[in-house]
Amino acid sequence: MTPDRRWTAKDLGDLTGRKFIVTGANSGLGEVTARALGGAGADVLLACRDTAKGDAVARSIGPRAHVRRLDLADLESVRSFASTVDSVDVLINNAGVMAVPFRRTADGFEMQFGTNHLGHFALTGLLASKVTDRVVTLSSGLHQIGRIHLDDPNYERRSYRRWPAYGQSKLANLMFALEFDRRLAAVGSELKSVAAHPGYARTNLQGRTESFQDTVMAIGGKMLAQSAEMGALPELYAATSPEVTSGLYIGPDGRSELSDYPTIVGPSSRARDRAVASALWSKSEELTGVRFAPVGG
């Protein structure tokens, strides 16, 4: 159901007793999300690669916020983190990298595909039986420029291009969320899989290209982007609203979904390709070694 009015963090209600994991919560959208959840009374686990920054955020939130190290670019770290979690109501797959120079993860994956998609795929698979309510996975409006190259997802034979690589990773995020929903429905699970995207928001995700594009994005961000607080609203709504059902994609309701308040938006035709989504799932299991255990109702 689409919100019948402009939904904001003030509409979170009382989240006392609810437990959330937010990946990448040491800065940007993740930090805003963690602060909003903690401010509403939730217990928040900040899953961060940079635990020093995470600790600073957690201290500002209060005693219900805790930090644990998670490096999504290292499957050993993902497994270690998952082993420490007993139960959680909501997992928010928020962390990501954007348009970085060509690098590989600890396991040899292209950094954007490995961090944004494979790391979260593995994390969700390892935690799925411990999540009681829903999984929210962040995509991007730039998923529309992506294509899933199942024969070479990690740029072992193709020439690396940072923006198409980012688009592939964000398309993979969205396809994963939708495919997870279909698989949950097939076994009658009450667990929800929801996708969200922030529109164009000012965060430190921009400015990591290590090229002239950093300057261009900094200027564009100041002139055109909405605040991180506004950009976090779709994931907050997706993670907390009782009106959200599994399989939805939540984004801003403004022009071209670049800004404004959360609403239901539509995935691209590529994101709705079930055959590719199923093949991507199988490829992701193969690459990560993580297979999802059945999650019943």
* Residue 80 forms part of a structural domain: yes
- Give the closest residue to 20 by CA, choosing from 84, 85, 97: 85
Per the listing, tokens 């402009």 go with 6
Specify the 3-state DSSP secondary structure of 105. coil
What is the reported pLDDT for 65? 98
Find the domain containing 56 and state its range: 9-287
Q: C-alpha angle 275/281/284, rounded to 5°? A: 140
Q: Is residue 92 part of a domain?
A: yes
**How many helices (DSSP H) and strands (DSSP E) are in the chain?**
10, 8
Contact yes or no for 207/66 (Cβ under 8 A) = no
Pairing of strands 19-23, 65-69: unpaired
Report if residue 4 sits inside a domain: no
Quick one: pLDDT at residue 221?
Answer: 45
d(CA 51, CA 70): 9
Cβ neighbours of residue 169 closer than 8 Å, sequence gap 6 or more: 96, 112, 113, 115, 116, 117, 146
**CATH number, domain containing residue 39:** 3.40.50.720
158: which DSSP letter? S
Which residues, listed in sequence order, are joined to residue 82 by a DSSP beta bridge?
Answer: none
* 3, HSE (Cβ side, Cα atoms, 13 Å): 23
Residue 3 lies in a domain: no
Angle, to 10 degrees, between the axis of helix 28-39 and the axis of helix 51-61? 30
pLDDT tens for the chain, 297 residues long, are 566 569 999 999 999 999 999 999 999 999 999 999 999 999 999 999 999 999 999 999 999 999 999 999 999 999 999 999 999 999 999 999 999 999 999 999 999 999 999 999 999 999 999 999 999 999 999 999 999 999 999 999 999 999 999 999 999 999 999 999 999 999 999 999 999 999 999 777 645 554 544 544 444 444 467 999 999 999 999 999 999 999 999 999 998 999 999 999 999 999 999 999 999 999 999 999 999 986 655
Cite the active site residues.
166
Structure tokens at 256: 């071209």
Q: What pTM was computed for the model?
A: 0.92
**Tally of domains in the chain:** 1
Where residue 150 falls (left for φ over 0; alpha for ψ -120 to 50; beta otherwise) is: alpha
- The one-character DSSP state at 113 is I
Q: Are 109 and 140 in contact (CB under 8 A)?
A: no
pLDDT of residue 288: 98
| Selection from 54, 53, 52 nearest residue 21 by Cα | 54
Q: Look at residue 99 and tell me if it is in a domain.
A: yes
In a domain, 198, yes or no: yes
Tokens of 161: 């291009």
For position 297, what pLDDT does the model report?
53
83 falls within a domain? yes
Whether 292 maps to a domain, the answer reads no
Query: Given its phi and psi angles, is residue 24 left (phi above 0), alpha (psi -120 to 50 degrees) or beta?
Result: left
Do 203 and 29 form a contact (C-beta atoms < 8 A)? Answer: yes
